[in-house]
Structure 1
């Protein structure tokens, strides 16, 4: 075998396919609140004005059929409102995880089920940490906590989207 020296840079691709959702029909899971008050608790913000603005903004988004572009907007709004932290925001902006060879998000207009995606990603990450206990570092556990918060937020949004009443209702008493 001959070794041929070269000065060519090795091309490394950052391309990734979208996360394969195993149960795309999932609209309810352990993170779906059982009642309106529990769902409202997850989405509580500081002032009545913030709550009203958040309700108006979120009414047009369906977590069971949402694109990465839309999920970024929802995540930004939840983050700016103090509903989610920076790690949870990372889940929202990553969307379905599809990237091109340079690591830029692709097909950000394609709709998917964020309820199932977030839940399955959390389960996969839990399994990863179980299989690799030495990697359960402070940073990785903070990321996992962000995944929990993202799941709780999406669950609360899904509750209101699927509730029998017409309006997105949060108790606005401060």
Structure 2
């Protein structure tokens, strides 16, 4: 859901300005393997191990739009996220040129802070614009943003967890 203010003729937008770029902990922070696997809907040990191997080299606090697209594509293709959540990943920093094409897709930023702040801003926007909040697709869009926050924090957990093997209680 992209909302362009009235009178704006160019599609160019700067990257989203993260107010707290050092943020690594928020209400979506995950500290347990089982909760991280649950957020990603991964219940098979081998899928968790595959994901962890894939994530080596990624840092959710210093990641580019290009990298988020790679991670998001992998998650979407595996069914771990839906199209609404995938949208957050492929939008990345939100920077675009006058024709609406993404720019600066190589520039790194803190995706944990970005996703959380974008969600907070969207909630405030909906609170101030209840008619839009009740519109078609608004609830699904917001749910995708919430899911994206859960997922980015689960990914951060897997990237930062020690060991190559994860023990997930498959009876849970």
TM-score class normalised by the smaller sequence = 0.7 to 0.9
Moved more, 93-102 or 32-41: 32-41
1:158 to 149, 156, 159: 156
Counterpart of 1:129 in 2: which secondary structure? Answer: helix
Paired residues of 1:160 and 1:169 also in contact (CA < 8 A):
no
Q: Pick the structure with greater CA Rg.
A: 1
Answer yes or no: is 1:143 the counterpart of 2:141: yes
Q: For residue 112 of structure 2, what is the aligned residue in structure 1?
A: 115
Shift in Å, 1:167: 3.2
Unaligned 5+ runs, structure 1? 1-10
Answer yes or no: is 1:84 the counterpart of 2:81: yes
Q: TM-score, normalised by structure 1?
A: 0.85
Cα distance in 2, alignment partners of residues 39 and 168 from structure 1 = 14
Counterpart of 1:106 in 2: which secondary structure? Answer: coil
Q: For residue 33 of structure 1, what is the aligned residue in structure 2?
A: 30
Shift in Å, 1:81: 1.1
Please give the per-residue CA displacement for 1:110-130, whole angstroms capped at 9, x wherever unaligned. 000000000000000000000
Q: For residue 70 of structure 2, what is the aligned residue in structure 1?
A: 73
Cα distance in 2, alignment partners of residues 117 and 38 from structure 1 = 21
What value does the CA root-mean-square deviation take over the aligned residues?
A: 2.0
Cα distance in 2, alignment partners of residues 141 and 170 from structure 1 = 35
Shift in Å, 1:89: 0.2
Shift in Å, 1:166: 3.4
Unaligned 5+ runs, structure 2? 1-7
How many residues align? The count is 163
Paired residues of 2:52 and 2:159 also in contact (CA < 8 A):
no
Q: Hey, which bits of structure 1, 4+ residues long, moved more than 6 A? A: none
